[in-house]
Chain A
Amino acid sequence: MANLSLKHIYKVYPNGAKAVNDFNMQIEDKEFIVFVGPSGCGKSTTLRMIAGLEEITAGELKIGGTVVNGMEPKDRDIAMVFQNYALYPHMTIFENIAFGLRMRRIPDIKRDKNGNPVLDKNGNEIQIMRKYNKQELSAKVNEAAEILGITEYLKRKPKEMSGGQRQRVALGRAIVRQPKVMLLDEPLSNLDAKLRTQMRSEIVKLHKKLQTTFIYVTHDQVEAMTMGTRIVVMKDGFVKQIDTPKNLYKYPANKFVAGFIGTPQMNFFEGTLKKQGDKVVIDFKYSDAQVTVPYSMLMKTTPQYLDGSKTVYIGFRAEDVTLDEEKVAHSTAKIPVRISHTEELGTETLVYGDINMEGDGFAETSTRVIIKSAGFKEYQTDKVCEAALDINAIHLFDIDTEESILPRIPEYNYLDCKAANGNITFLGNKLALPPAIGCPDGSGELLIPVSAVRFDGPIKANVISCENINGSILVSLDINGGRLYALSDKVLDSGEINIGLDFKKLIIKIGADEIQPMPEINGLNGKFVMEKSSERVDGKIKNVPRYYLLINGTKLEAPAEVYEKMFAATSGRKVYNSAFRYEWTPYDFTLSESGIEAQVSETLDYGNEKFVKCTVGQETLYVKCGGQVNGTVYLVPDAGKVSVIESDRQIRIV
Chain B
Amino acid sequence: MNKAKAKVAKAKTKKVLNVAITYCILIVVAFIFFFPCLWLILASFSKSGSIYSFDGFFPSEYGFDAFKSLFTDTVMYNYPKWFLNTLFIAVMSCLFGTLLTILTAYCMSRFRFKSRKAMMKATLLLGMFPSFMGTIAVYLIMTQFNLINQQWGLILIYSAQAPMGYMVQKGFFDTIPYSIDEAARIDGASNFTVFVKFILPLSKPMLVYTALTSFTWPWSDFILPKMLLIDKDLYTVAVGLMSLGETEFARFAAGSIFIAIPIIVLYFCLVKYMINGMAAGAVKE
Kindly state whether residue B233 has any CB partner on chain A within 8 Å: no
**Cβ of A83: which chain B residues have Cβ within 8 Å of it?**
179
When chains A and B are docked, how far (Å) is the Cα of A467 from the Cα of B257? 95
**Chain B residue, CB-CB nearest to A179:** B186
- Is B284 a contact of A158 with CB atoms below 8 Å? yes
- Is B284 a contact of A87 with CB atoms below 8 Å? yes
- Is A86 a contact of B198 with CB atoms below 8 Å? no
- Is A85 a contact of B284 with CB atoms below 8 Å? yes
Residues of chain A in range 65-96 having any CB-CB distance to chain B below 8 Å: 72-74, 78-80, 82-90
Residues A51 and B186 in contact in the complex (CB < 8 Å), given A85-B284, A86-B177: yes
- Is B183 a contact of A82 with CB atoms below 8 Å? yes
When chains A and B are docked, how far (Å) is the Cα of A82 from the Cα of B179? 7
**Chain B residue, CB-CB nearest to A190:** B284
- Is A78 a contact of B202 with CB atoms below 8 Å? no
**Cβ of B198: which chain A residues have Cβ within 8 Å of it?**
88, 90
When chains A and B are docked, how far (Å) is the Cα of A85 from the Cα of B179? 8
Q: Distance in Å from the Cβ of B199 to the closest Cβ of chain A?
A: 10
What 1/0 flags go to B178-210 for Cβ under 8 Å of A? 011011111111000100001001100000000
Residues A99 and B184 in contact in the complex (CB < 8 Å), given A89-B202, A90-B201: yes
When chains A and B are docked, how far (Å) is the Cα of A469 from the Cα of B182? 40
- Is A89 a contact of B283 with CB atoms below 8 Å? yes
Interface centre among B179, B198, B202 (most CB of A within 10 A): B179
Residues of chain B in range 161-185 having any CB-CB distance to chain A below 8 Å: 177, 179-180, 182-185
Kindly state whether residue B80 has any CB partner on chain A within 8 Å: no
What 1/0 flags go to B274-285 for Cβ under 8 Å of A? 000000011111
When chains A and B are docked, how far (Å) is the Cα of A83 from the Cα of B177? 12
When chains A and B are docked, how far (Å) is the Cα of A156 from the Cα of B72? 57
- Is B182 a contact of A80 with CB atoms below 8 Å? yes
- Is A100 a contact of B179 with CB atoms below 8 Å? no
- Is A86 a contact of B182 with CB atoms below 8 Å? yes
- Is A80 a contact of B183 with CB atoms below 8 Å? yes
- Is B185 a contact of A89 with CB atoms below 8 Å? no
Kindly state whether residue A205 has any CB partner on chain B within 8 Å: no
**Cβ of B184: which chain A residues have Cβ within 8 Å of it?**
88, 99
- Is B282 a contact of A89 with CB atoms below 8 Å? yes
Kindly state whether residue A103 has any CB partner on chain B within 8 Å: yes
**Cβ of A104: which chain B residues have Cβ within 8 Å of it?**
188
- Is A90 a contact of B185 with CB atoms below 8 Å? no
Contact of B183 among A86, A158, A166 (CB under 8 A): A86
Contact of B188 among A80, A87, A103, A159 (CB under 8 A): A103
When chains A and B are docked, how far (Å) is the Cα of A158 from the Cα of B189? 20
Residues of chain A in range 48-65 having any CB-CB distance to chain B below 8 Å: 51-53
Q: Distance in Å from the Cβ of B17 to the closest Cβ of chain A?
A: 46
Please tell me the number of chain B residues within 8 Å of chain A, measured between CB atoms: 20
Residues A86 and B188 in contact in the complex (CB < 8 Å), given A158-B284, A159-B282, A166-B284: no
**Chain A residue, CB-CB nearest to B182:** A53
- Is B186 a contact of A73 with CB atoms below 8 Å? yes
What 1/0 flags go to A297-329 for Cβ under 8 Å of B? 000000000000000000000000000000000
Please tell me the number of chain A residues within 8 Å of chain B, measured between CB atoms: 27
Residues A99 and B284 in contact in the complex (CB < 8 Å), given A86-B179, A86-B182: no
- Is B187 a contact of A100 with CB atoms below 8 Å? yes
What 1/0 flags go to A100-111 for Cβ under 8 Å of B? 100110000000
**Cβ of B185: which chain A residues have Cβ within 8 Å of it?**
53, 72-74
**Chain A residue, CB-CB nearest to B280:** A159
- Is B179 a contact of A74 with CB atoms below 8 Å? no
**Cβ of A86: which chain B residues have Cβ within 8 Å of it?**
177, 179-180, 182-183
- Is B186 a contact of A90 with CB atoms below 8 Å? no
When chains A and B are docked, how far (Å) is the Cα of A84 from the Cα of B193? 22
Contact of B177 among A53, A74, A79, A84 (CB under 8 A): A84
Residues of chain B in range 54-97 having any CB-CB distance to chain A below 8 Å: none
- Is A74 a contact of B188 with CB atoms below 8 Å? yes
When chains A and B are docked, how far (Å) is the Cα of A159 from the Cα of B285? 11
**Chain B residue, CB-CB nearest to A53:** B182
- Is A90 a contact of B281 with CB atoms below 8 Å? yes
**Chain A residue, CB-CB nearest to B185:** A73
When chains A and B are docked, how far (Å) is the Cα of A332 from the Cα of B185? 63
- Is A82 a contact of B283 with CB atoms below 8 Å? no
**Cβ of A74: which chain B residues have Cβ within 8 Å of it?**
185-189
**Cβ of B182: which chain A residues have Cβ within 8 Å of it?**
53, 73, 80, 82, 86
**Cβ of A166: which chain B residues have Cβ within 8 Å of it?**
284
**Cβ of B284: which chain A residues have Cβ within 8 Å of it?**
84-85, 87, 89, 158-159, 166
Interface centre among B179, B183, B282, B284 (most CB of A within 10 A): B183
**Cβ of A103: which chain B residues have Cβ within 8 Å of it?**
187-189, 193
**Chain A residue, CB-CB nearest to B180:** A86
**Cβ of B177: which chain A residues have Cβ within 8 Å of it?**
84, 86
When chains A and B are docked, how far (Å) is the Cα of A68 from the Cα of B198? 27
When chains A and B are docked, how far (Å) is the Cα of A74 from the Cα of B187? 6
**Chain A residue, CB-CB nearest to B193:** A103
**Cβ of B179: which chain A residues have Cβ within 8 Å of it?**
82-84, 86
When chains A and B are docked, how far (Å) is the Cα of A82 from the Cα of B193? 20
When chains A and B are docked, how far (Å) is the Cα of A100 from the Cα of B182? 12
**Chain A residue, CB-CB nearest to B204:** A90
When chains A and B are docked, how far (Å) is the Cα of A207 from the Cα of B202? 34
**Cβ of A85: which chain B residues have Cβ within 8 Å of it?**
284
List 8 A-B pairs, Cβ < 8 Å.
Answer: A72-B185, A73-B182, A74-B185, A84-B285, A88-B180, A90-B202, A100-B186, A100-B188
Interface residues, chain A, with chain B CB atoms under 8 Å away:
51-53, 72-74, 78-80, 82-90, 99-100, 103-104, 158-159, 166, 173, 177
- For the complex of A and B, the 8 pairs showing the least CB-CB separation, nearest first, are A103-B188, A100-B187, A74-B188, A86-B179, A86-B183, A90-B201, A73-B186, A82-B179
